[in-house]
Structure 1
Amino acid sequence: MESIDLSYEKHLIGEIWTTDEPYRNLEEFCDVIGARWAGSESERRGGEFLKAKLEQYGLQNVRLEPVPFGAWTRGHATLELTAPVAQSFSCIALPYSPPGDIEAELIDTGNGEADDFERLGEAVRGKVVIAAAETNPAGVRSKKLAHRTDKLRFAVDAGAAGMIFVNQNPGLLHITGGIGGPGGRPAAIIAVGTSWEHGQTILRLARRGGGSARVKISVGGSFSPDNTSFNVVGEIPGTRSADEIVLAALPPEAIGRTIRFVLYCGEEVGLLGSWAHTADHEAENAD
């Protein structure tokens, strides 16, 4: 039986298990660079740091590829139940929620799935929807169900005036997540996230009113349409087929082709970097 030289693999695995380089990089981000909201100066510093690291690691064609997008800045957010009793609740605006003030009747859509909105029909129109941010209970991932942005779309299509997302995990933590359109466009309606505890309290108080309740939501913040973020890109040129580029996946037959590493920007607020990279490099994509 022919022996296989695994010396490189052993060296690589040993380096992965013993180096503290990833932790030192993490410390640099946490202690020096800080929060890196898409389009911010600190995000730019983070991109320059990563570019220098890729060059240090020996990658070639290292560069910052610009990603134009619309930027959202958080402002205030308040949530009040005005009937059947008056009570205030803690909340945060979901990224790319438009600013504004609304007061309307509350309607419980349960999990906020498509069939929930179909069941309620025209009853949703003009109301503020309250729904579970994720349909699966905490710790359960047995089904692939509607994403937060899908639930918002269901609400918009049904004519809702606003939406409250409730965290499915106890712990007094607000649920959050981007709801903007492609390229970082504002959402169609106001949307806020609240904790499991506050969400359950709102629903319980609504039931005290026989299911009839009203809420008032106020959201601040601003939107700037012309901003630029950056994907960090570096490559290991292929020795056999340099013009054939493998992105992300590395099957054995890929060795010899150019391997491209892309560190995407703006993913948490709407997959901005990955969408932009796909569009900008469409000519390179395999049929």
Structure 2
Amino acid sequence: MADATHVIDWDAADRWLFGEAWTGDRIAEHARQLCDVIGPRWSGTEAEWRTIEYVRDQLRAAGLDEVEVEEFDMACWSFSRAAASIVGGPALDVLPFIRCPSFAVEADVVDVGHGTTREIAAVGERLAGAVALMTMAAEPFTTPVPHAYRLRDVATAGATAAAVIDPKSGERREYHSAHDARDPDFVSPPLPCVTITREAGARLRRLPQPRLCFDVVTAVETKRTANVHGVLHGRDWPEEDLVLGGHHDTVYGTPGGNDNGSGTIATLETARVLAGLRRENGAAPGRTLRFVTYAAEEQGFQGSFEFVRRHYGAGRRPRLAINLDELSAGHMKGIVLGFDHLRSLVQGQLDSMGDGLQCHVMSQLDNSSDHFPYLADGIDAAHLWRWRFRGRHADSDYHHESPDSADKVNVRELKEYSGQLSRLLLRLSCVLPEDWPRLGVATEEAQRRVNAERGSVVRVY
């Protein structure tokens, strides 16, 4: 393992980092404050500003060298009414898609199945002016198409709105989006969309000629929000950066224990542990470490796009940015890169930690979270390999739902995350500059990949 110019006793540093991560943690208190005291943290709201202030105060208390609240204007979507009912029947419990426009309509329901080209063609002209009833999940055994693109086909066929069936059972439904971050012209649902429960969808499919009535009122306003940015200066190459962060916002009405209290807490804890190591042990990072909580991830990654624009324009880039999202879905298994040229370097540092963690590379540029704005600009970025998308903990199988509460934060596993992330960041900060293969890829190359991958389902495991 290549070291910085100052000497670090790695055995002593590892013992201190992991010991402090496990015995000095504040995870449960952070979860209580974020999820119970503050609660839902939709960007652009007063509750989010309370979150921003809390994160700022925690980073300052940890002893970082600089802590800034970096304000910016965002396009904030909100809704004040979402009413729906079966004509001549009961009301339905619905949620509008994020960025859904206002709409009021009464129309026949036309079942389009999974929204495939074949199924849309089969209903023909009946879809014009109707409410499309569509299953969100892709049709089994077919080439998967993102639901946003299937909804766009439904809109092109003339549907006036869509009732989209959530795949979860037990009268559960969550907030969804229908856009593609890879396409700047596809930022909102292609037609008015609401989520309905699986049970409501089944009931509509049993009715001979159902009609639905909707009254949905939404708005988009310019609101002030902020990223929170803490800095631990590097001792050897302070002009070089590593970034660790995750979004601090949630969707409407969701305490956000797993999504993304877990990522916010891991950012706070990793910053606290590494600042404490420097103070108590004298082991400082070789290059500068930046700890960020991003605003408005749930509204189009506006916070991370702003952070990249503000700090990494005009050719300046970090060595690597690591994004933390939904960490309580499962234990840490390793790191997943966007570009392959850092694979050997990162795997070497993981191997030196001796815990069997693995480094992998995604076949596509993942557009699902706050690492995407970095990747789209050609900046090396990664997220953590964990059981988020497949085999996740049963008690954390809540996403954009009100049961994603403080108890969904897995305290024991977050201790491991903060300990392992601290060890990895310290090691990466001490790799000699000449041992880094390259600094990202050309922005034009990244954009070519982004454009080519539009409309594809990203392979996430």
Band the TM-score falls in, shorter-chain normalisation: 0.7 to 0.9
Aligned counterpart, 1:13? 18
Aligned counterpart, 1:43? 48
1:98 is aligned, of 101, 106, 120, to 101
Following TM superposition, by how much is the alpha carbon of 1:53 offset from its aligned partner in structure 2, in angstroms?
A: 0.9
Greater mean deviation of Cα atoms: 152-161 or 229-238: 152-161
Q: Tell me, in whole angstroms, the C-alpha distance in 1 between the residues paired with 2:119 and 2:25.
A: 49
- Aligned in 2, Cα 1:108/1:280: closer, same or farther, shift over 3 Å? farther
Partner SS for 1:258: strand
Aligned counterpart, 1:111? 114
Deviations 1:225-271 (A, max 9, x none): x212111111222222222222249xxxxx62222222111222332
Runs (5+) with no aligned partner, structure 1: 250-254
Aligned counterpart, 2:308? 278
Partner SS for 2:298: coil
Whether the 8 Å contact between 2:163 and 2:193 is mirrored in structure 1 is yes
Whether the 8 Å contact between 1:109 and 1:117 is mirrored in structure 2 is yes
Q: Tell me, in whole angstroms, the C-alpha distance in 2 between the residues paired with 1:16 and 1:122.
A: 61
- Aligned in 2, Cα 1:136/1:44: closer, same or farther, shift over 3 Å? farther
1:58 is aligned, of 63, 66, 69, to 63
2:231 is aligned, of 223, 231, 235, to 235
Partner SS for 2:75: strand
Residue 67 (str. 1) matches residue 72 (str. 2): yes
Residue 26 (str. 1) matches residue 38 (str. 2): no
2:293 is aligned, of 245, 252, 263, to 263
Following TM superposition, by how much is the alpha carbon of 1:170 offset from its aligned partner in structure 2, in angstroms?
A: 0.7
- Aligned in 2, Cα 1:40/1:112: closer, same or farther, shift over 3 Å? same
Q: Tell me, in whole angstroms, the C-alpha distance in 1 between the residues paired with 2:67 and 2:139.
A: 41
The within-5 A match list for 1:191-210 is 191-205=193-207, 209=208
Greater mean deviation of Cα atoms: 149-158 or 163-172: 149-158
Q: Tell me, in whole angstroms, the C-alpha distance in 2 between the residues paired with 1:15 and 1:123.
A: 64
TM-score by length of 2: 0.51
Whether the 8 Å contact between 1:177 and 1:269 is mirrored in structure 2 is no
Deviations 1:24-54 (A, max 9, x none): 1111123432322211112111101101111
Partner SS for 2:73: strand
Whether the 8 Å contact between 2:177 and 2:189 is mirrored in structure 1 is no
Q: Tell me, in whole angstroms, the C-alpha distance in 2 between the residues paired with 1:179 and 1:10.
A: 46
Q: Tell me, in whole angstroms, the C-alpha distance in 1 between the residues paired with 2:121 and 2:290.
A: 45
Task: Please tell me the root mean square deviation across aligned C-alpha atoms, in Å.
Answer: 3.2
1:190 is aligned, of 189, 192, 196, to 192
Q: Tell me, in whole angstroms, the C-alpha distance in 1 between the residues paired with 2:195 and 2:15.
A: 47
Whether the 8 Å contact between 1:74 and 1:222 is mirrored in structure 2 is yes
Residue 220 (str. 1) matches residue 249 (str. 2): no
- Aligned in 2, Cα 1:19/1:132: closer, same or farther, shift over 3 Å? farther
Partner SS for 2:80: coil
Aligned counterpart, 1:252? none
Q: Tell me, in whole angstroms, the C-alpha distance in 1 between the residues paired with 2:304 and 2:123.
A: 36
Whether the 8 Å contact between 2:109 and 2:210 is mirrored in structure 1 is yes
The within-5 A match list for 1:156-175 is 156-175=155-174
Q: Tell me, in whole angstroms, the C-alpha distance in 1 between the residues paired with 2:129 and 2:311.
A: 42
- Aligned in 2, Cα 1:66/1:178: closer, same or farther, shift over 3 Å? farther
Deviations 1:69-115 (A, max 9, x none): 22222222222333xx6443221222322112012232222223566
Q: Tell me, in whole angstroms, the C-alpha distance in 2 between the residues paired with 1:276 and 1:114.
A: 37
Following TM superposition, by how much is the alpha carbon of 1:218 offset from its aligned partner in structure 2, in angstroms?
A: 1.4
Q: Tell me, in whole angstroms, the C-alpha distance in 2 between the residues paired with 1:114 and 1:159.
A: 14
Q: Tell me, in whole angstroms, the C-alpha distance in 2 between the residues paired with 1:113 and 1:65.
A: 43
Q: Tell me, in whole angstroms, the C-alpha distance in 2 between the residues paired with 1:122 and 1:69.
A: 40
Following TM superposition, by how much is the alpha carbon of 1:194 offset from its aligned partner in structure 2, in angstroms?
A: 1.2
- Aligned in 2, Cα 1:216/1:24: closer, same or farther, shift over 3 Å? same
TM-score by length of 1: 0.79
Runs (5+) with no aligned partner, structure 2: 1-8, 246-284, 318-439, 443-461
Following TM superposition, by how much is the alpha carbon of 1:145 offset from its aligned partner in structure 2, in angstroms?
A: 4.1
Q: Tell me, in whole angstroms, the C-alpha distance in 2 between the residues paired with 1:25 and 1:39.
A: 21
Aligned counterpart, 2:154? 155
Question: Whose strand proportion is higher, 1 or 2?
Answer: 1
Aligned counterpart, 2:243? 247
Following TM superposition, by how much is the alpha carbon of 1:18 offset from its aligned partner in structure 2, in angstroms?
A: 2.5
Letter in 2 for 1:63: E
- Aligned in 2, Cα 1:125/1:257: closer, same or farther, shift over 3 Å? farther
Letter in 1 for 2:218: G
